[in-house]
Amino acid sequence: MLLAAAAILGYFNPKQALGQCAELVSIVSLLAHAKIESVAIKGPLLALELYGDLGARKSKDIDLVIKPKNIFEADHILQQQGYQRSFLTPRQLQAHIHWSKDFVYWHPKKQICLELHWRLFQDWECFSVFDISLQTTELLGVQIKHLSPEYNLLYLCTHGCESGWSRPQWALDIQKLLAKYELDWNLIRKEADQWDLAGTLREGLQIKTGRTGSYVWRWSDWWHKLALRKKFKNKAKVLFSLFVPRLQDFQALALPDGLFFLYYALRPFIAFKRNKLRHQQHLPD
């Protein structure tokens, strides 16, 4: 039934999935050769894990997590392979690495998008994938590390909240994960409490059971972000994030590094204009 729903939604694309899978193996191998540890999240591996079929789940990109200390070396490797990302001035680059979570790359020849993460979320304090027990799956003779079902549930729920549940596929993923695995709920509750993810976990489970609409809120609605947080320090981070410049802000307004400080004052106005337009167009972030 889940696969039928995915097919109706247009999420079957075996050729694209096979291409992403081969590229995932290639990139993981290149990083490993440079002694850079990586962990795959979402993408073709999640399709294989949850649905048993690479083509059963559409994925727009490949997602890999690395340690922050390896950012520049991994970035160099990807650009050597033909991947391109947005240009950033030295000051913008420094701020982006400090405040954001990933670089987004595009390979014009292969038509593949790749996201290189050094943290899972930019506004959510969350567990590090390198501090938890991981699972390993062999693809084309290469060992690919990925999240266990318990941590995958926490990640998928929080990712859905972060992105406003703008894709029905995310609810299907949670439904399939819950149906397939006998989860360690003690571990899930413990980690959710430690990382202040109880709100996103609860909302993810409500989405799964249909007690909330499929289009819940916009990630730009920071009031909702505040409501999902329990700890004061995390609520403070939400408020502070209103003034933290993002890549979209750099692209919307090009300032020389000498005037970089103006981004913090202008950011709320730039973000408000962008989010108003996005809300009118009903486009995901």
Instruction: Give the CATH number for residue 137.
Output: 3.30.460.40
Claim to verify: residue 160 and residue 253 sit in the same structural domain: no
Q: With 70 as the cut, is the pLDDT of residue 127 above it?
A: yes
At 213 the pLDDT is 45
Task: Please give the mean pLDDT across all residues of the chain.
Answer: 87
Predicted TM-score (pTM) above 0.85: yes
Residues 144-149, mean pLDDT to the nearest whole number = 97
Over residues 185-225, the pLDDT tens digits come to 999 999 999 999 999 999 999 886 655 444 444 544 677 88
At 282 the pLDDT is 53
Claim to verify: residue 2 and residue 117 sit in the same structural domain: yes
Claim to verify: residue 212 and residue 264 sit in the same structural domain: no
Claim to verify: residue 152 and residue 130 sit in the same structural domain: no
Domain count, the chain: 3
Claim to verify: residue 248 and residue 231 sit in the same structural domain: no
* 233 — pLDDT class (breaks 50, 70, 90): confident
Among 53-57, 85-89, 140-144, 171-175, the range of highest mean pLDDT:
85-89
The residue range of the domain holding 31 is 1-147
Claim to verify: residue 52 and residue 163 sit in the same structural domain: no
At 216 the pLDDT is 46
DSSP-based three-state secondary structure for 181: coil
At 57 the pLDDT is 81
Last residue of a domain, one of 147, 171, 190: 147
Claim to verify: residue 34 and residue 140 sit in the same structural domain: yes
Claim to verify: residue 133 and residue 2 sit in the same structural domain: yes
14-28, 70-84, 140-154, 187-201: least confident range: 14-28
